[in-house]
């Protein structure tokens, strides 16, 4: 399952509470996130409308709370562009004569010794996003973003483009660890996944279709989800914040 061997530190990073990354999500808890942002605003927080509810903090619906959270989170979100190559099957031989080989076998095929065309390769490009988890250049991303990549380029928020190297990956959880040569990078602040509840706010930051640093907003739809492509034992956070 693992193409690379993980040391204990990398394994700890890959199995942390950051499972929301597997769904291209960036989750913000409505109580702890908004309260800290509201307290830092110069203007007095104002609540619009008549809100009835238990435990709703003062300043919860300030107009800048989403943008302030996004501004802080964007500092540690990077774009990841990948290039890969795939072999194209030799159609000159395989397609016209496959039925002959089905009935008579490959050994009896009169076309076996005929020269075949050269293997053809096609280049592919892809894009995704990642989050800086250590100041010396460790970036957490999805395994499917860097799968089969021959070249990885990481674009930092300040515009720098650096070559990335995969140092750990796990297809089961769809997580991967990429290393770049850099220092003093802004690091993402992690929350506690056991505090997340359905209905909490969710802010997603990503790179859909190459549209870098896209921010969307929604709620946590459900907890404890699994995907058939990954496996039944993966505990994922479902959100409607589209990326």
Residue pLDDT, tens place only, 194-225: 899 999 999 999 888 878 889 999 999 999 88
pLDDT band per the 50, 70, 90 thresholds, residue 174: confident
Instruction: Please give the CATH number for the structural domain made up of 8-84+121-239.
Output: 2.40.10.120
Mean residue pLDDT across the chain: 73
Closest C-alpha among 132, 145, 198, 168 to residue 24: 145
The HSE-up count of residue 190 (CA atoms within 13 Å, CB side) is 15
**By CB neighbour count within 10 A (0-12 exposed, 13-18 middle, 19+ buried), where does 103 fall?**
exposed
Where in the sequence of the chain do the CATH 2.40.10.120 domains occur?
A: 8-84+121-239
Higher-confidence position of 120 and 230: 120
Residue 224 CB neighbour total at 10 angstroms: 9
- Of the candidates 139, 235, 127, 143, the residue with the CA atom closest to the CA atom of residue 188: 139
| Whole-number pLDDT of residue 222 | 93
Look at residue 235 and give its three-state secondary structure.
strand
Contact partners, residue 235, CB within 8 Å, separation at least 6: 19, 223, 224, 225, 226
- pTM to 2 decimals? 0.62
pLDDT of 34 higher than 50: no
Degrees (nearest 5) of the Cα angle 130, 181, 84? Answer: 55
Cα 148 from chain centroid (whole Å): 16
The pLDDT, as a whole number, for residue 242 is 82
Q: Does position 116 have pLDDT exceeding 80, yes or no?
A: no
Task: Specify the long-range contacts of residues 227-235, CB closer than 8 Å, at least 24 apart.
Answer: 230/22, 230/172, 230/173, 230/174, 231/172, 234/19, 234/22, 234/172, 234/173, 235/19
Q: For residue 3, what are the CA distances in angstroms to 17, 83, 128? A: 22, 18, 20
Predicted pLDDT of residue 105: 54
The C-alpha atoms of residue 237 and residue 226 are separated, in whole angstroms, by 9
**126: Cα separation from own chain's centroid:** 12
């Amino acid at each position: 399952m693992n193409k690379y061997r993980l040391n204990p530190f990398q394994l700890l990073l890959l199995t942390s509470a950051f499972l929301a990354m597997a769904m291209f999500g960036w989750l913000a808890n409505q109580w702890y996130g908004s309260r800290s942002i509201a307290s830092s605003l110069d203007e007095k927080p104002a609540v619009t409308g008549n809100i009835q509810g238990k435990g709703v903090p003062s300043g919860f619906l300030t107009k800048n709370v989403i943008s302030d959270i996004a501004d802080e989170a964007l500092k540690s979100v990077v774009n990841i562009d990948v290039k890969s190559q795939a072999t194209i099957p030799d159609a000159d031989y395989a397609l016209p004569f496959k039925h002959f080989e089905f009935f008579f076998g490959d050994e009896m095929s009169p076309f076996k010794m005929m020269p075949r065309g050269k293997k053809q390769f096609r280049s592919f490009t892809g894009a995704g996003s990642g989050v800086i988890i250590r100041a010396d250049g460790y970036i957490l991303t999805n395994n499917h973003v860097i799968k089969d990549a021959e070249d990885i380029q990481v674009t930092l928020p300040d515009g720098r483009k650096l070559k990335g190297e995969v140092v750990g990956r796990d297809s089961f959880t769809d997580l991967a660890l990429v290393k770049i040569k850099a220092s003093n990078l802004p690091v993402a602040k992690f929350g506690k996944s056991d505090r997340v509840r359905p209905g909490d706010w969710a802010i997603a930051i990503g790179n859909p279709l190459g549209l870098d640093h896209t921010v969307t907003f929604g709620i946590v739809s459900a907890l404890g989800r699994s995907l058939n492509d990954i496996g039944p034992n993966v505990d994922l956070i479902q959100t409607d914040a589209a990326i």
